[in-house]
């Protein structure tokens, strides 16, 4: 089968690999229909994720068809159309019982990280009963790919951890796919103001269409000052970091109001300064989280009811044999105006 393989920092290739086989009774083999590229994949390629070693097939998102199941799988059978969760969960360990599925002792975020992932023609899914979701008839598979990771990540790590509430003021620093997913799902809670900060004017215009009430272009280096001006000098109740670089987290530190919350989403590959000399008396909360995908069933219902339309995040489409072109497009988003790319296997 064809598969996109991480070779070393800065290097990847489309290779021929053996079709995966059942290893454990709870496994399922899924033939990929559609997958995508995540910003986390770019972090891996930069060397920011040491748990992912050379030779790994990347990808942790997608939809497909079950072609084989282990003897312990009871919820799925050959021919079922499924949504693949980015998080693998046994459902039995201490962390799973606390709904912290990302810390499952035999799972968590392992697809495209510690085991081969979804940017291939086939993938092995451990703990399939708890890590796959049936695709309802008539549901758009491209939209559902957004539910593998970015919608639950934006919602759980940004909106829920950020304690977004009716009438509150929020700022999302970073208008990439994750930041826009946080913007879409934040509107479940009717915040009064949704300010989005980014360097890319095209993405800020998209954020306006997605519901941002104000946007700030950070290219002049004065984003924090602009946000403070928009809030009358008070700051924001929730500052969501959706990039994963030191400057964006420091912006969140600069704009959070007393009693507010900084909710980190971004994958950080470098240290960030925590300015406690300015924050020690502000009654703020800082949260970190890896998505647990516990909200996926709820988000699936909102997509079915057309409460949100994650397909709006898709800007480009490629075949699997053109996945290197897809990476080039996704990795140069400022030039290509890419948000999410769909890759059809």
Please write down the HEC assignment for all residues of 217-245.
EHHHCCHHHHHHHHCCCCCEEEEEECCCC
* pLDDT score of 34 more than 90: yes
Whole-number pLDDT of residue 38: 95
Q: Are 236 and 262 in contact (CB under 8 A)?
A: no
| pLDDT the model gives residue 337 | 95
What pLDDT score does 315 carry? 97
pLDDT in tens, 169-227: 999 999 999 999 999 999 999 999 999 999 999 999 999 999 999 999 999 999 999 99
Residue of 125, 180, 140 lying closest to 158 (CA atoms): 180
Q: Where are the alpha helices (DSSP H) in the chain?
A: 39-46, 94-97, 128-131, 141-145, 150-153, 177-186, 201-209, 223-230, 246-255, 276-279, 296-304, 323-331, 333-336
Q: Is the pLDDT of residue 56 over 90?
A: yes
pLDDT of residue 319: 98
Domain ranges of the chain: 2-149+293-344, 152-287
User: What is residue 306's predicted lDDT score, i.e. its pLDDT?
Assistant: 87
pLDDT at 21: 98
Q: Tell me, what's the pLDDT at 66? A: 98
On the question of pLDDT at 98 being above 90, the answer is: yes
Instruction: Give residue 257's pLDDT.
Output: 98
CA–CA gap between residue 138 and residue 174 (Å, rounded): 33
CB within 8 Å of 124: residues ≥ 6 apart: 20, 21, 22, 23, 27, 28, 29, 30, 115, 116
- Residue 3 confidence class, pLDDT cut points 50, 70, 90: very high
Architecture of domain 152-287: 3-Layer(aba) Sandwich (3.40)
Q: DSSP of 118-142, one letter per residue?
A: SSBSEEEESSHHHHEEEPPTT--HH
278-337 pLDDT per residue, tens: 999 999 999 999 999 999 999 999 999 889 999 999 999 999 999 999 999 999 998 999
pLDDT tens digit string along 138-160? 899 999 999 999 999 999 999 99
Average pLDDT over residues 76-87: 98
**What is the rounded average pLDDT of the residues 240-269?**
96
Q: Residue 102: pLDDT band by 50, 70, 90 thresholds?
A: very high
CB atoms within 10 A of CB 61: 29
Does residue 81 register a pLDDT over 90? Answer: yes
If you average pLDDT over residues 252-273, what whole number do you get?
96
The mean pLDDT value for 100-127 works out to 98
| Alpha carbon distance 216, 97 (integer Å) | 41
pLDDT at 52 over 90: yes
Q: What is the share, in percent, of the chain residues with pLDDT greater than 70?
A: 100
Report the chain's mean pLDDT, rounded to a whole number: 97
Q: What is the CATH number of domain 2-149+293-344?
A: 3.90.180.10
């Amino acid at each position: 089968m064809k598969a996109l393989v991480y070779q070393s920092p800065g290097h990847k290739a489309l290779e021929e690999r053996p079709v995966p086989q059942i290893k454990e009774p709870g496994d399922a083999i899924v033939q990929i229909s559609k997958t995508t590229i995540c910003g986390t994949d770019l972090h891996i390629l930069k060397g920011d994720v040491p748990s992912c070693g050379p030779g790994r097939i990347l990808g942790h998102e997608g939809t497909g068809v079950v072609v084989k199941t282990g003897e312990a799988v009871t919820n799925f059978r050959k021919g079922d159309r499924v949504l693949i969760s980015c998080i693998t969960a046994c459902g039995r360990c201490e962390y799973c019982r606390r709904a912290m599925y990302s810390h499952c002792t035999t799972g968590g975020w392992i697809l495209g990280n510690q085991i081969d992932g979804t940017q291939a023609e086939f993938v092995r899914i451990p703990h399939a009963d708890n890590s796959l979701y049936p695709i309802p008839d008539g549901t758009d598979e491209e939209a559902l790919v957004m539910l593998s990771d970015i919608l639950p990540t934006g919602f759980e790590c940004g909106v829920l951890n950020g304690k977004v509430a009716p009438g509150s003021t929020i700022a999302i620093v970073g208008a990439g796919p994750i930041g826009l997913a946080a913007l879409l799902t934040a509107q479940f809670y009717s915040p009064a103001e949704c300010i989005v900060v980014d360097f890319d004017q095209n993405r800020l215009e998209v954020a306006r269409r997605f519901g941002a009430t104000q946007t700030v272009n950070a290219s002049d280096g004065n984003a924090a000052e602009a946000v403070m001006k928009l809030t009358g000098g008070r700051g924001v109740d929730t500052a969501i970091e959706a990039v994963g670089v030191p400057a964006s987290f420091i912006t969140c530190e600069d704009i959070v109001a007393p009693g507010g919350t900084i909710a980190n989403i971004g994958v950080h590959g470098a240290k960030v300064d925590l300015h406690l000399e300015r924050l020690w008396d502000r009654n703020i909360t800082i949260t970190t989280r890896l998505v647990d995908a516990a909200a996926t069933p709820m988000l699936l219902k909102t997509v079915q009811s057309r409460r949100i339309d994650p397909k709006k995040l898709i800007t480009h489409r490629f075949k699997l044999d053109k996945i290197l072109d897809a990476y080039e497009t996704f990795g140069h988003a400022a030039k290509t105006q890419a948000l999410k790319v769909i890759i059809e296997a």
